[in-house]
Amino acid sequence: MLHHLDFIELAHYADDSRGIRFLKDLDTRIGGRHVLLADAVIDTGMTMHYLVRSLTIRSPASLQITTLFERPYRRLVEDLPVRYVGFTIPDEFFVGYGFELDGRYRNLPDLRLVR
């Protein structure tokens, strides 16, 4: 079985009507392939929902979602098929472990609550 890793970058415009757009699309065709989308955090689900709809029209054999953190109580999309969840986290702001605030704290080896 051949595995492939690819990246997508999306931009979300919360303050205007253009919605979401691709900044970087897949370099690989996904038709007939099993696809696992990985995201760090899923909150409202709006961006992931847009991505799932955009990729479904490319006819993957399957399309599943995994996330390290989720906040299901903030979800605005009911039919988002999040298959694998690392942790459900509270509605608070965290930094560290790759998450940043104003370009800082991304390199912390653990998650820390910003108060």
Q: How far is Cα 26 from Cα 28, in angstroms, rounded to an integer?
A: 5
Residues 6+ apart with CB under 8 A from 67: 38, 39, 40, 41, 42, 82, 84, 85, 86
Examine the residue annotation and report whether 91 is marked as an active-site residue of this protein: no
Q: Whole-angstrom Cα distance, residue 64 to residue 108? A: 30
Catalytic residue among 6, 43, 79, 110: 43
- DSSP-derived letter for residue 99 is B
Q: Which two tokens stand for residue 49?
A: 């929902």
Catalytic residues: 43
